[in-house]
Amino acid sequence: MNKIFEKGGKFYWLHSTIDAFESFLHVPGTVTRKGAHVRDAIDLKRLLILVVIAAAPAALFGMWNVGYQHGLAVGDLRLNILGNFWYGFLRVLPLYLVSYIVGLGIEFASSQIRGEEVSEGYLVSGFFIPLIVPVDIPLWMLAVAVAFAVIFGKEVFGGTGMNIVNPAILARAFLFFSYPNYMSGSECWIHFKSGEQLVDGFTGATPLSLEGASAQYGTGFWDLFIGTVPGSVGETSVIAILLGAVILLWTGIASWKIMAGGVLGALFVGGIGDLAGISQIPCFMQLLYGGFAFGIVFMATDPVTSAQTECGKWIYGFLIGALCIMVRLFNPGYAEGMMLAILLCNVFAPLIDHCVISVHLSRKSRKPKTA
C-alpha cells in the first residue's frame, strides 16, 4: 500500500477503503506472526462469496419472475424468457444499487472509524436484502432500512461477527413495521407502471394471503415449487432455493441441522393445524409458501446469529419452523411468520446455547472417573 494511506499519511482516512479494494484484488502478502505458521487457504471472502453464489439461482429466477408476473398482470405474455428476465433485471438492479451503495458506504466508514479492515459480511447481507423485499418498494425506503439495519443491527455491536440479529432480516422487519402499506396486501408484489391497464379480476396478492382462493394463476404444488407466483423478489422459487441449499450444505457453510430442524418444526405445527382443522392446507405445502424456504436456507443458517452448539442448532431450527407456521395459522394480522420467527430465534439463540452448554458441562462433571 502506498505510504500516504498508512497511519500518519495524508490519506489515512481512506485506509480501510484502499485496503478493502487491494485485498479484493489479491490475497495480501501478510505472513503469520503468532501461533500456527501455516494456515488454511480459506478466508471469509471465499466463504461469503459462496453464499452469494448459492443465492444466485434464486436471484436470477426472481428477476425473471418479476417480468413474468408483470406480464400476467397486464395480460401481455408476448415476452420470452430473456425478455421477462431483462424486464425484471432492470427493476431489481436499482434495489441492488441502493442496497450496496448505502450498506457498503456505512460499512467502509465504520471500519475506518474502528481502524479495522473492511469485513466482507455485507457482501452477503446486501445480496439478500433486495431478494426479500417487494420489487416495488420505494428506493428511499430501502435506503433507510439498509442504513438502520447496518448501523443498529451490526455496527453498534462491533461489526460483522458481533451482531445479534441477521441484518438482512432486520432491514425487512424495519420496512414491515415502518411502512406496512408497502410491505403487505395485494399491491406491492408485482411491478406496475402507472397507467397500465390490469387484467379484469386480477389480484397481486401472494398465495399465502389468498390461501389458495380464486387467483388467476395456479397455487398448486408445482407453481409454488417452481415459483411462478407473486412474492418478494427471491423467495418464490423453492427449486432455485434448494439449488442454493445444496451448495451451502456441501461446503458446510450452512448447518443441515438447522434446516432439518426447521422443516421438522414446520411440519409438526402444520400437522397439528391439519389435525385440529385450523388449517386447510396440507402441512407439507406450508414449506413451499411464502418466505419459509428462503428463510430456513439462507437466513436461519447465518453462522453468526444462529445457535452455535450442535444440539442447539436442532432446537433453534425447530423453533423457527414451528414459530413460523404458528404465526401463519394463529395470527390473523400477519400472513407470513418467517421473518418474525427468525428474528425471535436470533435473539434467543445465545440462550439456547447457554442451556445446551450448561447441561453438557454438568453432565461432564458428573461423569465417573475412568481410571
Q: Is residue 371 a contact point for another protein (CB under 8 A)? A: yes
- Considering only 240, 309, 314, 324, the residue that binds another protein (CB under 8 A) is 309
Which three cell numbers, joined as nine digits, stand for 268?
409438526
- Considering only 18, 47, 141, 272, the residue that binds another protein (CB under 8 A) is 47
Residue 90: Cβ within 10 Å count: 13
Which three cell numbers, joined as nine digits, stand for 9?
499519511
User: Which run of H or of E encompasses 272?
Assistant: helix 256-276
CB of 173 to another protein, least distance (A): 22
Q: Is residue 27 a contact point for another protein (CB under 8 A)? A: yes
Q: Is residue 119 a contact point for another protein (CB under 8 A)? A: yes
Nearest in space to 28 (alpha carbons), one of 36, 40, 20: 20
Q: Is residue 252 a contact point for another protein (CB under 8 A)? A: yes
Stretch that binds another protein, among 77-85, 112-120, 283-291, 322-330 (CB under 8 A): 112-120
- Considering only 3, 7, 10, 26, the residue that binds another protein (CB under 8 A) is 26
Q: Is residue 45 a contact point for another protein (CB under 8 A)? A: yes
CB of 369 to another protein, least distance (A): 6
Find the helix packing angle between 338-366 and 310-330, rounded to 10°.
150
- Considering only 8, 29, 195, 201, the residue that binds another protein (CB under 8 A) is 29
- Residue 129, classed as helix, strand or coil, is helix
Q: How far is Cα 109 from Cα 43, in angstroms, rounded to an integer?
A: 22
Q: How far is Cα 129 from Cα 171, in angstroms, rounded to an integer?
A: 7
Task: Sort 147 into a burial class: Cβ within 10 Å, 0-12 / 13-18 / 19+.
Answer: middle
CB of 24 to another protein, least distance (A): 9
Q: Which chain residues interact with another protein by CB under 8 A?
A: 19, 23, 25-47, 49-50, 117, 119-121, 158-162, 250-253, 255, 303-304, 306-310, 313, 357, 361, 364-365, 369-371
